[in-house]
Amino acid sequence: MNKIFKHTANCFALSFAFLGLLPIAILLLWSISGKWNWPNILPQNYNLRAYRYILENGNQLLKVVFFSIGLSLSVTFITILFSIPAAKALGTFNFIGKRLVEILILTPLIIPSITIATGIHIFFIRLGLADTLLGVIIIHLFPCLPYGVRMLKNVYEVIGNSYEIQARVLGASRLKTFLNITLPLLMPAIISASNLIFVVSFSQYLLTLIIGGGKIMTLAVIMFPFIQDGDQTMAGALSIVFISVSFVFLIIFEKMLKNYYKIEGHLYI
């Protein structure tokens, strides 16, 4: 029975691995394809046009990549700062309208991005935030905050505020209580949420394009026009760059999480 279960689990694992790697393999083929028409299973000819373009414009592309990373890290940091108090309020307190607040926080995930961007764009123009980096950072918070609040709220529901109360009774200040009690308990969730928030911000195209007005150039903004124009070769190559950056930060966040467990020497509650 155990052998059958193990064999079934291995089959499922291999199937999921195949499904995950198949799109990347197709992107790799697209990135080096010169001509790939239906119903051919493989490209009819190959070239390195896309990668030559990337190498020829390497300095400019690197600037865009690093700018995109910096933008997404800034959004991640700000999102976590806002998510912690919001998650604590929703996870540890009961108040009138709590369910409504939870639903409102999730609305950016339900409402189409074009609706959010169009409605806020006019407001941002009046405030002078349109076509600015600050405006793009603020608009990125809309799709990112629901993830941060939701993940941290689940942790607060488990740990409650009893540890904080005990620390305050023993004379610890609010700051010391947060740094020495609350933050260590939240850290695994913060790292996991940061990973997800980074990817969400890094992949924003429409919000960045509308609010940034084409002046704030990110990797997603550069990549999507090639997809829309049907240049699958360039789109495939830039998608590989996009996936590579996301994968590197996935490894970084996972490494941070493992190091935290190793240093703290305790399991996540």
In degrees and rounded to multiples of 5, residue 249 shows phi and psi of: -70, -30
Q: What tokens were used for 110?
A: 């339900």
| pLDDT score of 269 | 45
Instruction: Flag whether 51 is in a domain.
Output: no
Per residue of the chain (269 residues), give pLDDT as tens: 566 667 777 777 787 777 777 777 777 877 777 776 777 677 777 778 888 888 888 788 889 999 999 999 999 999 999 999 999 999 888 888 888 988 888 888 888 888 888 888 889 999 999 899 999 999 999 999 999 999 999 999 888 888 888 888 888 888 888 888 888 889 999 999 999 999 999 999 999 999 998 889 999 998 888 877 777 888 888 888 899 999 999 999 999 888 887 766 554 44
Total domains, the chain = 1
Burial 69-103 (b: 16+ CB within 10 A, else e): bebbbbbbebbbeebbebbbebbeeeeeeeeeeee
Q: Are 45 and 35 in contact (CB under 8 A)?
A: yes
Is residue 82 within 8 Å of residue 141, measured between CB atoms?
yes
Task: Give the pLDDT confidence score for residue 267 in this predicted structure.
Answer: 47
* Integer Cα distance of 252 and 21 in angstroms: 20
Can you give the pLDDT at residue 268? 46
| 27, 64, 238 from 40: Cα distances, Å | 16, 35, 23
- The owner of tokens 């689940």 is 154
| Residue range(s) defining the domain that contains residue 162 | 58-264
Identify which of 182, 168, 180, 219 has the alpha carbon closest to the alpha carbon of residue 66.
Answer: 219
CA distance 68 to 52: 22
The phi, psi pair for 220, rounded to 5°, reads -65, -40
Query: Has residue 48 been placed in a domain?
Result: no
**Do residues 137 and 74 make contact, with C-beta atoms less than 8 angstroms apart?**
yes
Residue 1 counted as domain residue = no
Q: Model's pTM, two decimal places?
A: 0.86
Q: Do strands 33-35 and 45-46 pair parallel, antiparallel, or not at all (unpaired)?
A: antiparallel
Q: Is residue 255 part of a domain?
A: yes
Q: Coil, strand, or helix at residue 45?
A: strand
Residue 216 is given by DSSP the state S
What residues contact residue 144 under an 8 Å CB cut-off, 6+ apart?
Answer: 75, 76, 79, 197, 200, 201
The answer to whether the beta carbons of residues 144 and 79 sit under 8 Å apart is: yes
Task: Annotate 72-117 with three-state secondary structure.
Answer: HHHHHHHHHHHHHHHHHHHHHCCCCCHHHHHHHHHHHHHCCHHHHH
Please report whether residue 23 resides in a domain.
no
Query: Does residue 92 fall inside a structural domain?
Result: yes
Q: Helices (H), strands (E): how many in the chain?
A: 12, 2
Contact 52, 45 (CB under 8 A): no
Write down the pLDDT at residue 18: 75
Instruction: State the CATH number of the domain containing residue 252.
Output: 1.10.3720.10
